[in-house]
Amino acid sequence: MVEQIEVRLGEYKRGFHLITNEIVSQLPELPEYGLLHIFIKHSSAGLTLNENADYTVREDFETVFNKLVPENDPDYQHTLEGPDDMPAHIKSSLVGASVTIPITGGRLNLGTWQGIYLCEFRNYGGSRKLVLTVYS
Amino acid sequence: MVEQIEVRLGEYKRGFHLITNEIVSQLPELPEYGLLHIFIKHSSAGLTLNENADYTVREDFETVFNKLVPENDPDYQHTLEGPDDMPAHIKSSLVGASVTIPITGGRLNLGTWQGIYLCEFRNYGGSRKLVLTVYS
Amino acid sequence: MVEQIEVRLGEYKRGFHLITNEIVSQLPELPEYGLLHIFIKHSSAGLTLNENADYTVREDFETVFNKLVPENDPDYQHTLEGPDDMPAHIKSSLVGASVTIPITGGRLNLGTWQGIYLCEFRNYGGSRKLVLTVYS
């Protein structure tokens, strides 16, 4: 059985943001066993799972990703949409456009320290669209 | 319900290539709601979703990935298959071996700017094998 | 149909480890067609698919990931859990917390050279918990 909904996130500034509660609050009733697939319909933002407690982890993510894929590299050709754009595309593929999470006993079976991150790589990305698909 | 087929891609040169149409044209009739899982059976190539309009984005991907994982690092031990081989393995794990895309209304529910990329990391990778699995 | 089990891996030292056999030996009987989703319930380790034959590939993975995300960067704020901790979180999101593998003819349909890697990014990560979900 498949259940699917399309949702819009609030607007987030550039950076890594914990959106577990925003996702969970919009889910339909979950099955006993299954999977939740969360998909972002954009190529300059991404989704990942990581540490859910200390906000400095998310700040360090932003620092490290900016070092991994610097802005203003003179070798970039795709520069018309601003210096944050091409790095955003690369970062999006490094983390990926979806996460899949097991459902157990009617709940997301995340580890104690795992949360869902929106990775907003644009300076002004606006409100991002997600597709949530529940399998059982 | 599961439907699965194995397909071969055409031969692509090293780089990032938009293969959305090549995939879609080989899919069976899609269900109203579901997921498509695309899997590459190789460890020196990968799959990702990214910008589908401007070919310079794909060229910049090649530039950036070559900087992230340079060839000829003297610390590499696995060098017998050529200087492009070990970096290809690393890059493959950075993007991943599969993508999962929601199906809505009988069509892939990609964002406006999202396309499916083959990431060919070898100089001569040959024709790559994919497994397409449709869930509904 | 969904079948799901939770398993614990043995303890592995920091590095990249081939765990295909350890996974396969714990799987229930597999369906004719389907998908296996393997999920790690941690934010400082990850899972990926890569070369299954030459152990120097796994050693080179460790070398390259340590260069991509160095320890002791003075810009890190999240340092209380030791110099290996923050890099471990980043590396975990670079490879991801899950892999999904097609099942064909009652077996994992991996490529000839593909194996399942545990990516243990902590110096002393202990025994890691996985959730295995089989879809058919």
Provide the pLDDT for residue C12: 98
ipTM above 0.90, yes or no: yes
Helix A85-95 and helix A55-68, axial crossing angle in degrees, nearest 10: 120
Q: At B119, is the pLDDT very low, low, confident or very high (cuts 50, 70, 90)?
A: very high
Distance from CA of C25 to the nearest CA of A (A): 20
How many Å apart are CA C84 and CA C118, to the nearest integer?
17
Counting residues of chain B whose pLDDT is more than 90, the rounded percentage is 99
Q: At C136, is the pLDDT very low, low, confident or very high (cuts 50, 70, 90)?
A: very high
Mean pLDDT in residue range A85-94: 98
Q: At B12, is the pLDDT very low, low, confident or very high (cuts 50, 70, 90)?
A: very high
Provide the pLDDT for residue A11: 97
Provide the pLDDT for residue A82: 97
Distance from CA of C80 to the nearest CA of B (A): 27
Q: Which of A32, A60, A67 best probes binding to C when mutated, by most C CB atoms within 10 angstroms?
A: A60
Residues in a beta bridge with B40 = B130
Provide the pLDDT for residue C111: 98
Mean pLDDT in residue range C35-51: 98
How many Å apart are CA B97 and CA B99, to the nearest integer?
7
What is the torsional sign of CA B119, C61, C9, A46?
negative
Distance from CA of B107 to the nearest CA of A (A): 13
Interface of A with B (CB under 8 A): 2-4, 6, 37, 39-44, 68-69, 73, 75-78, 86, 89-90, 92-94, 96-98, 100, 129, 131, 133, 135
Q: At C133, is the pLDDT very low, low, confident or very high (cuts 50, 70, 90)?
A: very high
* Alpha carbon C48 to chain centroid, angstroms: 5
Residue C7 burial class via C-beta count within 10 angstroms: exposed 0-12, middle 13-18, buried 19 and up: middle
Per residue in A95-107, pLDDT (tens digit) is: 999 999 999 999 9
Q: At B105, is the pLDDT very low, low, confident or very high (cuts 50, 70, 90)?
A: very high
Q: Which of B3, B50, B61, B92 best probes binding to A when mutated, by most A CB atoms within 10 angstroms?
A: B50
Mean pLDDT in residue range B39-48: 98
Per residue in B67-95, pLDDT (tens digit) is: 999 999 999 999 999 999 999 999 999 99
Q: At B4, is the pLDDT very low, low, confident or very high (cuts 50, 70, 90)?
A: very high
Q: At C56, is the pLDDT very low, low, confident or very high (cuts 50, 70, 90)?
A: very high
Does A37 sit within 8 Å of B102, measured CB to CB? yes
Does A35 sit within 8 Å of C135, measured CB to CB? yes
Per residue in B14-36, pLDDT (tens digit) is: 999 999 999 999 999 999 999 99
Residues in a beta bridge with A116 = A49
Does A77 sit within 8 Å of B56, measured CB to CB? yes
Q: Which of B3, B8, B39, B81 best probes binding to C when mutated, by most C CB atoms within 10 angstroms?
A: B39
Per the CB < 8 A criterion, the answer to whether B15 and B124 are in contact is: no
Q: At C86, is the pLDDT very low, low, confident or very high (cuts 50, 70, 90)?
A: very high
Mean pLDDT in residue range C97-110: 98
Residue of C nearest to A63 (CA): C75
Mean pLDDT in residue range C28-32: 97
- CATH homologous superfamily for the domain A2-135: YjbQ-like (2.60.120.460)
Does A64 sit within 8 Å of C37, measured CB to CB? no
Q: What's this model's pTM, rounded to 2 decimal places? A: 0.98
